[in-house]
Amino acid sequence: MDDIWSAIDGLRSKEIYTLNDIMQFDKKISTLITGLCIGSADSPQKELSIACKHYRFKQRQLLRLQNFIELKRKNVQDNCEHKWERDLGDPDDRSHYDCKKCGAWR
């Protein structure tokens, strides 16, 4: 548990955070919360309740992240000067084209 706190303290000392720093911080916090929930509750029911609340919180975070990613993807694709390339993956499928730059398809 000390290594989690030292990692968190190490992040606090930074002035500029990278995406990797934020992801590592989230991972350490999740590990800390999970560790505190398991075995620290008064009863198994209380432990289950805490774990379920944490799970629902993480689900909401994932939904917000998914919406953010979709918005960014749409923004990138809308502003891309597409370079279309025909997808020849399956000769029996209808032909479609993929943009080599942004991954959009038509």
Q: Quick one: pLDDT at residue 39? A: 62
Domain assignment present for residue 92? The answer is no
Q: Does 42 have pLDDT greater than 90?
A: no
Give the mean pLDDT of the chain.
Answer: 83
In total, how many domains does the chain have? 1
pLDDT per residue as tens digits for the range 48-93: 887 788 889 889 989 999 999 999 999 999 999 999 998 887 666 7
Q: Quick one: pLDDT at residue 19? A: 84
Domain assignment present for residue 95? The answer is no
Q: Quick one: pLDDT at residue 40? A: 63
pLDDT per residue as tens digits for the range 4-14: 778 777 777 77
Domain assignment present for residue 101? The answer is no
Domain assignment present for residue 11? The answer is yes
- Integer angstrom CA distances of residue 55 from 9, 30, 91: 25, 10, 44
Give residue 23's domain range.
2-86
Domain assignment present for residue 16? The answer is yes
| CA gap 54, 10 in Å, rounded | 25
Closest CA to 75 of 48, 102, 46, 40: 102
Domain assignment present for residue 80? The answer is yes
Domain assignment present for residue 57? The answer is yes
Domain assignment present for residue 106? The answer is no
